[in-house]
C-alpha cells in the first residue's frame, strides 16, 4: 500500500539533490487566520491505525478474517490510545471488501477467507463506533490489477485492459503496457471512464456505510514513465493548444519531445534527457489529478456532507511530481519559490495544488531519521524531505497549514534500531502536527514476524501516544 518500494527506488537520486531542495533558516509556521489556515499551535493528537486488507484479512499472520479476533484487536488498540482506523475497502486488484455493483468482491486470497455471511466493512464500522473510534474507508484509486497474483479487473476484463491500462515507457523508450513490465496494473487517470468508475465506487462506499471519512490512496499516475498512451497524447495536444495556443503541438514527436531518452536507476525508469515539452507535460498531468480530486470531493459531499475527504501521499514532495500529484496549497508557488528551488515546476503549477480540497492529509513520513540535528548533512537545514522533522517542516511550508495534517510512521518495513526509536518517532509526529499520526500498519503491531524488530510493538506504540 504505502509506496515503500517507490521510496527506496528514488532515495539515492534524491539524496544527491537534497541540498538543492533545502533551506538553512526559515519563517515560523502559519499562525492561522482568515485565509483558512490552521494555527500551527493546534494539536489534535489523533491516532489513526491503518488496516491493510491483504495483510490483516488475507495474510498468513492476519487476525482480521475472524470477528472475535477483530474485536480483541480493536480493544487493544483502544486501550493504548488509538482513536481511529483507516480500513482498505478497495485493493490493488480493483476488487472491494464488500459486495459492489461496479466490481468484484474479494472473497478469499491464498485460501484464506473472511467470516462467512458477515459484511466486513459494516462489521468494522459498527465495532469501531462501539469503541468511540472514528473509521475511514480507503480506496486504491487508480490500480486495477495485482501483478503478484495475476488477479484483478485488468486480468478479468480484456476490453477494460485494452482501453484503460496505463501505457508506460520502458528504459529503451518503447511504449508498453504497465503489467508487461511486472508492475501492478495502474490505469490511466485521464480516461473519463476510469474516473467515472472510481467516482462510482467512492459514492457507493459513502452511501452504503456510516464511515467518518473517505481516503484516496494511489490517486496518481504509476510514476514518471506514465501515461504515454495515445489518449494521453491527444489530450496533451489539446491542452497545449488551449492553454498555450500552441499550433504546432499536433506535430510533436511523441513521446521524445517529452522525454528524449531514459535511464534505469535503483530499479526505476527515469528521464535521462528531457524534451521541450517536459515541464508542460508535468503541468498537464498534475491538472488531471487536481480535476479528479475536485470531482471526488464533490461526490463525497453530495452524499454526506459531514464525511471527511482526504488522501494518503508520500511526504517527499520534492519528487512527487513524478507521479503527477501536487498536494500543496494553491497559495504555494513552487515555480516562483526562491527558498526551495524546484527545477521541474512551471508557471501556474500552483493552480493544480489540491490541499484546499481536503479535510485530512496523511503523509508517509517513512524515515528513521527523526531530527535534522541527528545527521551532520542536515543539521543546519530547515526543510529536508527525507527526515521526519525536515519533511514536517516542509509540509507546513507548502500546504500553508490549510488542512489538518497527519504524519505517518511505517512501523514494520523500516529498520528501526530499537522500539524506543519508534516510540520517539510517534511522539515527535503527534507533538508537531495539527492532526496527529497515522500508524502503518496494524499487522506490524501484533505479528512480530512482519516487522524488522521481530517483536510485538504494542508497548512502543502506547509509549509514543502517551502525553
Looking at the predicted structure, is the pLDDT value of residue 4 above 70? no
Q: What's the confidence (pLDDT) of residue 33?
A: 54
Looking at the predicted structure, is the pLDDT value of residue 31 above 80? no
Q: Indicate whether 97 belongs to any domain.
A: yes
Res. 1 pLDDT band, cuts 50 70 90: low
Instruction: State the residue for C-alpha cell 485488468.
Output: 154
DSSP string, 263-290: EEETTEEEEEEE-TTHHHHHHHHHHHHH
Determine the Cα–Cα distance for residues 211 and 219; give it in Å rounded to an integer. Answer: 20
Per-residue pLDDT of 331-354, as tens digits, reads: 999 999 999 989 999 999 999 999
Looking at the predicted structure, is the pLDDT value of residue 2 above 90? no
Radius of gyration of the chain (CA): 21
Q: Indicate whether 442 belongs to any domain.
A: no
| 3-state SS, residue 434 | coil
| N-terminal to C-terminal alpha carbon distance within the chain | 29
Strands 213-217 and 175-177, by their bridges, are: unpaired
Boundaries of domain holding 107: 52-159+186-222+277-358
Q: Indicate whether 11 belongs to any domain.
A: no
Q: How many domains does the chain divide into?
A: 1
Q: Indicate whether 246 belongs to any domain.
A: no
- CATH number, domain containing residue 100: 3.20.20.80
Mean pLDDT across the chain: 93
Instruction: State the residue for C-alpha cell 504515454.
Output: 228
Q: Indicate whether 22 belongs to any domain.
A: no
> Tell me, what DSSP letter sits at residue 27?
P
Q: Indicate whether 286 belongs to any domain.
A: yes
Q: What's the confidence (pLDDT) of residue 26?
A: 34
Q: What's the confidence (pLDDT) of residue 6?
A: 46
Q: Indicate whether 9 belongs to any domain.
A: no
Cβ neighbours around 266 below 10 Å, total: 11
Q: What's the confidence (pLDDT) of residue 20?
A: 36
Looking at the predicted structure, is the pLDDT value of residue 30 above 50? no
Q: What's the confidence (pLDDT) of residue 257?
A: 98
**Burial of residue 447 (number of CB atoms within 10 Å: 0-12, 13-18, 19+):** buried
Mean pLDDT of 220-247: 98
Q: What's the confidence (pLDDT) of residue 19?
A: 36
Strands 259-265 and 360-364, by their bridges, are: unpaired
Determine the Cα–Cα distance for residues 272 and 244; give it in Å rounded to an integer. Answer: 26
Q: Give the closest residue to 383 by CA, choosing from 106, 19, 134.
A: 19
> Tell me, what DSSP letter sits at residue 383?
-
Res. 35 pLDDT band, cuts 50 70 90: confident
Three-state DSSP string of 169-201: ECCCCCEEEHHHHCCCCEECCCCHHHHHHHHHH
Q: Indicate whether 443 belongs to any domain.
A: no
Cis peptide leading into residue 227 (ω within 30°): yes
In sequence order, the β-bridge partners of residue 139 are: 90, 216
Amino acid at each position: 500500500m504505502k509506496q515503500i518500494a517507490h521510496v527506496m527506488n528514488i532515495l539515492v537520486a534524491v539524496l544527491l539533490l537534497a541540498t538543492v531542495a533545502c533551506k538553512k533558516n526559515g519563517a515560523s509556521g502559519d499562525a492561522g487566520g482568515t485565509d483558512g489556515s490552521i494555527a500551527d499551535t493546534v494539536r489534535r493528537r489523533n491516532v489513526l491505525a491503518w488496516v491493510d486488507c491483504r495483510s490483516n484479512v488475507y495474510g498468513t499472520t492476519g487476525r482480521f478474517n475472524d470477528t472475535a479476533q477483530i474485536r480483541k484487536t480493536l480493544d487493544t488498540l483502544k486501550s493504548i490510545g488509538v482513536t481511529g482506523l483507516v480500513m482498505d475497502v478497495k485493493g490493488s486488484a480493483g476488487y472491494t471488501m464488500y459486495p459492489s455493483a461496479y466490481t468484484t468482491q474479494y472473497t478469499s486470497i491464498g485460501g484464506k477467507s473472511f467470516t462467512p455471511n458477515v459484511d466486513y466493512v459494516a462489521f468494522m464500522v459498527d465495532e469501531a463506533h462501539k469503541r468511540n473510534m472514528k473509521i475511514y474507508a480507503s480506496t486504491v484509486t487508480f490500480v486495477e490489477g495485482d501483478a503478484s497474483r495475476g488477479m484483478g479487473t485488468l486480468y478479468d476484463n480484456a476490453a477494460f485492459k485494452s482501453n484503460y491500462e496505463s501505457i508506460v515507457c520502458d528504459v529503451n523508450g518503447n511504449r508498453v503496457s504497465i503489467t508487461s513490465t511486472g508492475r501492478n496494473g495502474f490505469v490511466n487517470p485521464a480516461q473519463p471512464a476510469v474516473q467515472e468508475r472510481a467516482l462510482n465506487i467512492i459514492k457507493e462506499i459513502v452511501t452504503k456505510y456510516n464511515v467518518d471519512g473517505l481516503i484516496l490512496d494511489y490517486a496518481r499516475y504509476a510514476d514518471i514513465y506514465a501515461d504515454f498512451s495515445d489518449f494521453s497524447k491527444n489530450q496533451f495536444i489539446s491542452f497545449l493548444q488551449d492553454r498555450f495556443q500552441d499550433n504546432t503541438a499536433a506535430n510533436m514527436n511523441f513521446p521524445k519531445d517529452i522525454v528524449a531518452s531514459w535511464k534505469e536507476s535503483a530499479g526505476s525508469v527515469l528521464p535521462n534527457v528531457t524534451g521541450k515539452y517536459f515541464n508542460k507535460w508535468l503541468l498537464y498531468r498534475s491538472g488531471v489529478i487536481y480535476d479528479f480530486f475536485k470531482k471526488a470531493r464533490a461526490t463525497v459531499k453530495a452524499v454526506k456532507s459531514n464525511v471527511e475527504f482526504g488522501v494518503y501521499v508520500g511526504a517527499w514532495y520534492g519528487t512527487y511530481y513524478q507521479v503527477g500529484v501536487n498536494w500543496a496549497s494553491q497559495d504555494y508557488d513552487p515555480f516562483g519559490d526562491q527558498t526551495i528551488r524546484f527545477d521541474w515546476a512551471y508557471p501556474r503549477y500552483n493552480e493544480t495544488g489540491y490541499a484546499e480540497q481536503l479535510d485530512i492529509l496523511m503523509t508517509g513520513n517513512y524515515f528513521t531519521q527523526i531530527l535534522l540535528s541527528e545527521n551532520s548533512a542536515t543539521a543546519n537545514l530547515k526543510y529536508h524531505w527525507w527526515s521526519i522533522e525536515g519533511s514536517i517542516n516542509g509540509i507546513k511550508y507548502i500546504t500553508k497549514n490549510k488542512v489538518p495534517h497527519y504524519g505517518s510512521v511505517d512501523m514494520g518495513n523500516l529498520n528501526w534500531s530499537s522500539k524506543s526509536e519508534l516510540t520517539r518517532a510517534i511522539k515527535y509526529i503527534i507533538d508537531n502536527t495539527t492532526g496527529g499520526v497515522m500508524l502503518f500498519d496494524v499487522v506490524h503491531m501484533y505479528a512480530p514476524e512482519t516487522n524488522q524488530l521481530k517483536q510485538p510493538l504494542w508497548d512502543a506504540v502506547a509509549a509514543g501516544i502517551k502525553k
